[in-house]
Amino acid sequence: MSDPIINALTTFTEEEQLFASSVREFAEAEIKPYVREMDAAGKMRPEIISKAFELGLMGIEVPDEYGGSGGTFFMACIAIEELARVDASVSVCVDVNNTLVANAFLNYGTEAQRKKYLQMLSTNTVGAYALSEAASGSDAFALQTKAEDKGDHYLLNGRKLWITNGNEAGIFIVFATLDPSKGYKGITAFVVEKDFPGFSVGHKEDKLGIRASSTTELILEDCKVPKDCVLGEVGKGYKIAIETLNEGRIGIGAQMIGLARGAYECALAYTKERKQFGQALSEFQGVQFQLAEMAVKVEAARLMVYNAARLKDAKQPFIKQAAMAKLFSSEVAEEVASLAVNLYGGYGYVKDYPVEKYYRDCKIGQIYEGTSNMQKQTIAKLVLAE
């Protein structure tokens, strides 16, 4: 299972294979020794983030001219998967930087914004994507954060919740409404730097899983934002939010197949080593059937995620496939991680062994960047329109 080349659809190019191997080596050598420590502390080691920048993992799709790696969306998904196989917290940090923040600048930024912010995002500055609020989760456009046009600048007031990378980020894409009476058509996306007056990072959530990834509140109190920090068009923030999250869901799918792979590989190895009744667990037919189910589900989820990523790179319609991949892979991750805990028995329930963490980490996949119910709604709408 360590080699991701498994069939015709998922065959990697030589460049992709070398890239996957390099990310896997980084994850095994420089992340794995600290996974348990970071989970317990609820904090990511800064040197791991620095190394991710050094390896070009924070701006994979960003063109060379803006300081990035000049890769593809599919390569970003490879990195997210390989990192999640070892630690989902590091994976989601890289995921958000690539599939949400950098992609938003690539698709909607002005040339000046791209030159400034993509260079930062690729080389030394973590990004965050601030859409959610206390009253706007799945109903994302019920947001209450307000923006006022003050002539030569905007003033933003409000609070954002559940913002990934909140503590580490230096660049935030913040969604606020200039005219609540216009509904979603009043929403605008703003680029907010951490040192802008009136901006601060608030409470950090104490989470079930992905604990080393910071999830925070953002506080905007008369936050002064320059006019040239509007991302895209005024009043078109909803378009940026929807289209960026459509791409981001494939990244979450990649994270979930990485988690599922990690849990499966641990369970497979453990059942070969653990003996009961005079033989290895893997020699019992019932256990073999469970391992077979896990392998089938991991491969099926990978096929769906890879297909959505390839469609996106080919500039083909991918929204339905992205929603399907995110929905299915998040369900598979939970099922596989749960089976892994079962196969470990009592050892699976304690923190000395890795599978309890995979089980905790995977649950968020059914919640963030669109809950499973929202994915089903999207899929139903699209299939009914066919």
Residue 10 has what pLDDT?
59
| CATH architecture under which domain 14-126 falls | Orthogonal Bundle (1.10)
CATH number for the region 239-384 comes to 1.20.140.10
For residue 127, the surrounding DSSP H or E stretch is strand 126-130
- Strand pairing category for 187-193 and 126-130: unpaired
CA 370/CA 23 separation, integer angstroms: 27
Confidence class for position 4, pLDDT limits 50, 70, 90: very low
3-state secondary structure of 196: coil
Q: Which amino acid is at 325?
A: A
Q: Which amino acid is at 24?
A: R
Q: What is the pLDDT of residues 209-240, one digit of tens each?
A: 999 999 999 999 999 999 999 999 999 999 99
Residue 135 has what pLDDT?
87
Domain ranges of the chain: 14-126, 128-235, 239-384
Q: What is the pLDDT of residues 353-368, one digit of tens each?
A: 999 999 999 999 999 9
pLDDT at 2 over 80: no
In this prediction, residues 149-155 reach a mean pLDDT of 97
Q: Give helix then strand counts, H and E, for the chain.
A: 13, 10
For domain 128-235, the CATH superfamily is Butyryl-CoA Dehydrogenase, subunit A, domain 2 (2.40.110.10)
Residue 6 has what pLDDT?
44
Tokens of 150: 């003050």
CA 65/CA 368 separation, integer angstroms: 32
3-state secondary structure of 261: helix
In this prediction, residues 98-103 reach a mean pLDDT of 98
Confidence class for position 5, pLDDT limits 50, 70, 90: very low
Longest alpha-carbon distance in the chain? 79
DSSP secondary structure letter of residue 133: B
Polymer length in residues for the chain: 386
pLDDT at 273 over 70: yes
Residue 353 has what pLDDT?
97
Q: What is the pLDDT of residues 33-71, one digit of tens each?
A: 999 999 999 999 999 999 999 999 999 999 999 999 999
User: Residues 74, 79, 81, CA angle at the centre, nearest 5°?
Assistant: 90
Query: 340 CB contacts (<8 Å, ≥6 apart)?
Result: 263, 264, 266, 267, 294, 348, 355, 358, 359
For the chain, what percentages of helix, strand and coil (3-state, to nearest 5) are there?
60, 15, 25
Task: Return the active site residues.
Answer: 369
In this prediction, residues 285-305 reach a mean pLDDT of 97
pLDDT at 282 over 50: yes
Q: Average pLDDT, whole number, for the chain? A: 95
**Percentage of the chain exceeding pLDDT 70:** 97
Confidence class for position 8, pLDDT limits 50, 70, 90: very low
Q: What is the pLDDT of residues 327-338, one digit of tens each?
A: 999 999 999 999
- Strand pairing category for 169-177 and 126-130: parallel
CA 5/CA 116 separation, integer angstroms: 37
pTM listed for this prediction: 0.95
Q: Which amino acid is at 38?
A: M
Residue 192 CA from chain centroid, whole number: 21
